[in-house]
């Protein structure tokens, strides 16, 4: 047993027991952990460079346990890393979904703002068109009022002229009436004086 322990501890070929346990070609030590029958089946496959005494050595249980622990640690570490990567991936997916939703909301808000701006522009254009039409109508009304004022002024001028003509005609008529009255007075006076002269 002591010799076996020394062989188990002492490096063989410059390799530690754990390195010999996982070294290429050193399959018997791993297989013997699971049963001697499997080890006997694998003994014929050993390369010629493997020492017979090393091949007949007892299984290196501490190295096997340490190997299992190392493998378990690496598996747990890999599982933790995978879980962390999965958590980060889920967080990234969630953040990306939230960012996409926020971007979609901003796009909808921008589209609504654009539509509102277009409606306001259309309303402003309609108001401008209506204002231009009202201005044109007011200008036409002003032109018509100016024309009416000019016509009224012309009529007033004609009325003044007609009034002046009427006054002139009235003065002339009064003049003729005075002349006619004077002539009648003269004629009647001569007529009334005529009998007296015969007497």
Question: How many residues are present in the chain?
Answer: 199
Confidence of residue 192 (pLDDT cuts 50, 70, 90): low
pLDDT score of 60:
75
Reported as a single tens digit per residue, the pLDDT across 81-107 is 999 999 999 999 999 999 999 999 999
Q: Give the angle subtended at the CA of 74 by the CAs of 68 and 77, to the nearest 5°.
A: 140
CA distances from 113 to 30, 101, 110, 188 (A): 73, 18, 5, 108
Mean pLDDT confidence for 49-58: 52
Q: Name which residue leads in pLDDT, 102 or 6.
A: 102
pLDDT at 165: 92
User: Which residues partner with 12 through β-bridges?
Assistant: 15
Mean pLDDT of 119-137: 94
Distance CA 91, CA 109 (A): 26
Residue 187's pLDDT band, with cuts at 50, 70 and 90, is: confident
- Return the top range by mean pLDDT from 61-75, 114-128, 179-193: 114-128
* Cβ density class 63-86: b for 16+ within 10 Å, e for less: bbeebeeeeeeeeeeeeeeeeeee
- CA–CA separation, 38 and 65 (whole Å): 19
Per-residue confidence (pLDDT) for residue 33, from 0 to 100: 46
The average pLDDT across 171-196 equals 80
**How far, CA to CA in Å, does 64 sit from each of 20, 60, 139, 198?**
10, 6, 109, 196
pLDDT at 121 over 90: yes
């Amino acid at each position: 047993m002591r010799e076996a322990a020394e062989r188990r501890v002492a490096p063989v070929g410059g390799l530690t027991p754990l390195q010999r346990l996982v070294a290429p070609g050193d399959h018997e030590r791993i297989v013997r952990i699971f049963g001697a029958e499997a080890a006997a089946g694998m003994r014929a496959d050993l390369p010629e460079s493997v020492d017979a005494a090393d091949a007949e050595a007892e299984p290196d249980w501490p190295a096997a346990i340490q190997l299992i622990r190392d493998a378990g640690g690496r598996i747990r570490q890999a599982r933790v890393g995978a879980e962390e990567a999965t958590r980060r991936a889920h967080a990234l997916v969630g953040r990306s979904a939230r960012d996409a939703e926020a971007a979609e909301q901003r796009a909808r808000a921008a589209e609504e703002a654009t539509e509102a701006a277009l409606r306001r522009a259309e309303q402003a254009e309609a108001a401008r068109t209506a204002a231009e039409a009202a201005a044109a109508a007011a200008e036409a009304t002003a032109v018509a009022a100016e024309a009416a004022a000019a016509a009224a002024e012309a009529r007033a001028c004609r009325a003044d002229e007609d009034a002046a003509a009427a006054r002139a005609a009235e003065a002339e008529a009064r003049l003729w009436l005075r002349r006619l009255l004077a002539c009648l007075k003269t004629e009647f006076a001569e007529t009334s004086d005529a009998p007296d002269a015969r007497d």
